[in-house]
Amino acid sequence: MLQVRDIWRSYRDKKWFGSASREVLKGVSFEVAPGEAVGLLGASGSGKSTLARIISGIEAPERGEVTLHGLNLMHRRHRRQRISVVFQDYTASINPSMTVFDAIAEPLRLQSVWAREALYEHVAALLARVGLPEALMQRYAAELSGGQAQRVCIARAIANQPDLIILDEAVSSLDVPVQVQILELLEALRESCGLSYLFITHDVMALCFVCQRVLFLDDGRIVESCKVESLPDVRQPYARRLLNAVI
């Protein structure tokens, strides 16, 4: 389904005297199958979020391509409706001037014209899918708890029935009990909706809760790939260090 092929990305580091180029992604390649949840694990600065921005179309790679069902996602029309993103900072993901209803309805309105009543019913159904009551529809982001706000972000992400959701540190800023609730919700949605996930994190335990396969990203390169059940057997030095830090 999703194919990431030989992605390269660098940035210019401004120095006191001139500037230097810093390579952030160095030939990254991997695939995500339909209905699969793949974890991308790496330390801070390994290139995880840059890769998420490229796959979602926020940034362009210098080399390489990203395809979904054979369509090149560098073309905006091919990304539309196919990929959604849930970020770590749920407070920045919801426009503070929008109600919950408007925040979830926004991507739906961008794709088609809705009768008000039909749109209201659809948003209410999306809220129900993520475990939120219809009564929250007229609230603003500032009136929500962290867990509620992230559920709203997930409802917005599934609104247009995407093939893939990129979860970029989507639970890391939540308290542990709320993290577990959100992870259970994500797993239930993957099974019921046939979603695929790219779960980007530095949290091994959260990754194991949701994912079937794990990629280890170190200094812009995929250095190891394995199934979740094979994590205890990983011997690649960088991957082993990450795992030993939490196991």
Output the tens digit of pLDDT for each of the chain's 247 residues. Answer: 999 999 999 988 766 555 678 889 999 999 999 999 999 998 888 899 899 999 988 889 999 999 998 888 776 665 556 899 998 887 778 899 999 999 999 988 888 888 889 999 999 999 999 999 999 999 999 999 999 999 999 999 999 899 999 999 888 888 889 999 999 999 999 999 899 999 998 888 889 999 999 999 999 999 999 999 999 999 999 999 988 876 5
* Domain locations in the chain as residue ranges: 1-82+164-247, 92-161
Handedness of CA 244, 190, 212, 33 (dihedral sign): negative
Whether 6 and 29 have beta carbons less than 8 Å apart is answered as yes
**Domain 1-82+164-247 homologous superfamily, CATH:** P-loop containing nucleotide triphosphate hydrolases (3.40.50.300)
Look up the pTM and report it: 0.89
Distance (Å, whole) CA 247 – CA 230: 14
Report how far apart, in Å, the C-alpha atoms of 101 and of each of 128, 132, 190, 230 are. 13, 12, 23, 43
